[in-house]
Structure 1
Amino acid sequence: MKFVQRTRGLAGAIAIVLSLALPAMLVVASSADARIGGGSSSGSRGSRTFSAPPSTSTAPSAAQPFNRTMTQPGSPGMSAPAAGAARGGFFNRPGMGMLGGLAAGFLGAGLLGMLFGGGMFSGLGGLSSIFGLILQIGLIIIVVRLAMSWWQRRNAAAPAAASAYAGPAAGPDVGPGAQQSYRTGSGFGIGATAAPLEIGPADYEAFERLLGEIQTTWSNGDIGHLHTLATPEMVSYFGTDLAANKARGVENKVSNVKLLQGDLAEAWREGDTDYASVAMRFALVDKTIETATGKIVEGSEQPTEATEVWTFARRRGSDWELSAIQQT
Structure 2
Amino acid sequence: MMRGLLLGGLIGLLLGQGFGGLAGMLGLLLQGLLIAGAIMLAIRFFRSQSARNQAPAMAGVPRSMGSFGRNAAAQPEAGNVSSFPIPGIGSGFGRSAQASDEITMTPADLDTFQQRLTEVQEAFGREDHAGLRRLATPEMVSYLSEELADNAKNGIRNEVSNVSLLEADIAESWREDGRDYATAALRYESHDVMRDRASGKIVAGEADRPTETTELWTFTRQNGGDWKLAAIQQP
Place the TM-score, normalised by the shorter chain, in its bin: 0.5 to 0.7
Compared CA separation, residues 138 and 166, structure 1 to 2 (3 A): same
Structure 2 letter corresponding to 1:231 = T
Change (3 A) 1:293 1:140: same
Determine the structure 1 residue equivalent to 2:160: 254
CA distance, structure 2, for counterparts of residue 134 and residue 169 of structure 1: 57
Query: Which position in structure 2 is the counterpart of 1:314?
Result: 221
* Aligned alpha-carbon RMSD (Å): 3.0
Shift of 1:316: 1.2
Partner of 1:30: none
Structure 1 residues 141, 169: CA separation in 2 closer, same or farther (over 3 Å shift)?
A: farther
Change (3 A) 1:142 1:240: same
Is the alpha carbon distance of 1:304 and 1:140 closer, same or farther for their aligned partners in structure 2, counting shifts above 3 Å? same
Q: How does 1:234-273 map to 2 (within 5 A)?
A: 234-273=140-179
Uncovered stretches (5+) of structure 1, i.e. residues with no partner: 1-125, 149-161, 171-195
Alignment of 1:160-199 (within 5 A): 169-170=100-101, 196-199=102-105
Q: Quote how far apart the aligned CAs of 1:231 are.
A: 1.1
| Runs of 4 or more consecutive aligned structure 1 residues displaced over 3 Å after TM superposition | 126-130, 136-145, 165-170
- Secondary structure class of the residue paired with 1:263: strand
1:135 aligns with 2:41: no
- What is the TM-score normalised by the length of structure 2? 0.61
**1:231-285 Cα deviation digits (max 9, x unpaired):** 1111111111111100111100000000000111111100211110110100000
2:116 aligned counterpart, secondary structure: helix
Cα 1:239/1:127, change in 2 over 3 Å: farther
Give the number of aligned pairs: 162
Matched residue SS, 1:199: coil
Q: How does 1:1-328 map to 2 (within 5 A)?
A: 128=37, 130-138=39-47, 169-170=100-101, 196-301=102-207, 302-328=209-235
Aligned residue for 1:307, secondary structure, equals strand
In 1, the alpha carbon distance for the partners of 2:106 and 2:158 equals 33
Distance across 2 between alignment mates of 1:276 and 1:219? 24
* 8 Å Cα contact 2:100/2:176 also seen in 1: no
Higher share in strand: 2
Distance 1:127 1:324 in 2: 64
Determine the C-alpha separation between the residues in 2 that align with 1:237 and 1:130: 61
Taking every aligned residue pair, what percent have the same amino acid on both sides? 42
> How far apart, CA to CA, are the structure 2 residues paired with 1:166 and 1:281?
29
User: Would the alpha carbon gap of residues 131 and 278 (structure 1) be closer, same or farther in structure 2, given more than 3 Å must change?
Assistant: same
Q: Give 5+ residue unaligned stretches, structure 2.
A: 1-34, 57-90
AA in 1 matched with 2:140:
M
- 1:299 Cα shift? 0.6
Instruction: Render the CA deviation track for 1:25-64: whole Å, top value 9, x for unaligned.
Output: xxxxxxxxxxxxxxxxxxxxxxxxxxxxxxxxxxxxxxxx
Alpha-carbon distance between aligned partners in 1 of 2:229 and 2:164, rounded to the nearest angstrom:
17
2-side partners of 1:318 and 1:168: how far apart? 19
Structure-2 change in CA distance of 1:254 and 1:139 (3 Å): same
1:314 and 1:198 map into 2 onto residues whose CA distance is 14
